[in-house]
Amino acid sequence: MLLTIHVKNFALIDEAELNLGEGVQILTGETGAGKSILIDAVTAALGGKMGRDVVRSGADSALAELVFAVEEEDKRQALSQMGVELEEDGQLIVSRRINAGRSVCRLNGEIVPQSMARRATELLIDIHGQHEHQSLLKKAKHLEILDEYIREQAGGLKEELKKNYDRYRALKKAMAEFLLDEESRLREMDFCRYEIQEIDNARLKPGEEEELAAAYRRMANSRRIVEGMNRIYQLLDTEADDSGLARIGAAAREMTSLVEYDGELSGMQEQLFSIDSLMEDLRREISDYIEGMSFDAEQYRQVEERLDRIRGLQAKYGADYEAVMAYRQERQERLETLEQYNERRDQTKADYEAVCGRLEKLCAELSQLRQKEAVRLTEAIRRALVDLNFLDVQVEMEFSRLPEFHEDGWDEAEFLISMNPGEKMRPLSQVASGGELSRIMLAIKSVLADTDDIPTLIFDEIDTGISGRTAQKVAEKLSAIGRRHQVLCITHLAQIAAMADRHFLIEKGVEGGKTCTMVRCLDEKASIEELARLIGGAQMTETTYRHAQEMKELAAQIKNGK
92/76 Cα distance (integer angstroms): 10
Q: Is residue 165 part of a domain?
A: no
Q: Tell me how many domains the chain contains.
A: 1
Q: Is residue 397 part of a domain?
A: no
Domain of residue 3 covers 1-124+454-522
325/332 Cα distance (integer angstroms): 10
Kindly report the CATH number assigned to the domain that includes residue 112. 3.40.50.300
Q: Is residue 192 part of a domain?
A: no
* Residue 164: predicted pLDDT: 95
- Write out the chain's pLDDT in tens, 562 residues: 999 999 998 988 888 899 999 999 999 988 777 788 888 899 889 888 877 678 888 888 899 999 999 888 888 888 988 888 888 888 999 999 988 768 899 999 899 998 899 989 988 988 876 566 677 778 888 998 899 899 889 989 999 999 999 999 999 988 887 877 888 888 989 999 999 999 999 999 999 999 999 888 888 888 888 888 888 877 777 666 566 667 777 787 888 888 877 778 888 888 888 888 888 888 888 888 888 777 788 888 998 999 999 999 999 999 999 999 999 999 999 898 888 888 888 898 999 999 999 999 999 999 999 999 999 999 999 988 888 888 788 999 999 999 999 999 999 999 999 988 878 899 887 876 666 777 888 888 888 877 777 889 888 877 777 777 888 888 888 888 888 899 999 888 899 999 999 999 998 888 777 778 888 999 999 999 999 988 887 677 888 889 999 999 888 888 877 5
* Residue 86: predicted pLDDT: 87
Q: Please say whether the dihedral angle defined by the alpha carbons of residues 490, 491, 494 and 495, taken in this order, is positive or negative.
A: negative
pLDDT digit string (tens) for 339-358? 888 888 889 899 999 999 99
Do the Cβ atoms of 498 and 475 come closer than 8 Å? yes
Backbone conformation region of residue 45, classed left if phi is above 0, alpha if psi is from -120 to 50, else beta: alpha
Long-range CB contacts for residues 96-100, cutoff 8 Å, separation at least 24: 96/44, 96/45, 96/47, 96/63, 96/64, 96/65, 97/61, 97/62, 97/63, 98/10, 98/44, 98/50, 98/54, 98/55, 98/61, 98/62, 98/63, 98/64, 99/55, 99/60, 99/61, 100/52, 100/55
Q: Is residue 244 part of a domain?
A: no
* Residue 11: predicted pLDDT: 86
283/288 Cα distance (integer angstroms): 9
For residue 320, the SS3 value is: coil
Closest CA to 494 of 462, 525, 532, 521: 532
Q: Is residue 468 part of a domain?
A: yes
Q: Is residue 153 part of a domain?
A: no
* Residue 538: predicted pLDDT: 66
Concatenated DSSP letters of 255-273: HHHHHTT-GGGHHHHHHHH
Strand partners, 516: 509
Cα 8 to the chain's mean position, in Å? 23
For residue 452, the SS3 value is: coil
477/77 Cα distance (integer angstroms): 32
Q: Is residue 345 part of a domain?
A: no
Q: How far is CA 528 from CA 463, 491, 499, 539, 560, in A?
A: 20, 15, 11, 14, 19
In this prediction the pTM is: 0.63
Residues written for the chain: 562
Do the Cβ atoms of 417 and 431 come closer than 8 Å? yes
* Residue 138: predicted pLDDT: 82
Q: How far apart are the first and last CA of the chain?
A: 27
H-state helical runs in 72-221: 73-81, 114-121, 139-149, 151-176, 182-202, 208-220
297/558 Cα distance (integer angstroms): 101
379/373 Cα distance (integer angstroms): 10
Q: Is residue 38 part of a domain?
A: yes
Structure letter (DSSP) for residue 233: H
* Residue 483: predicted pLDDT: 86
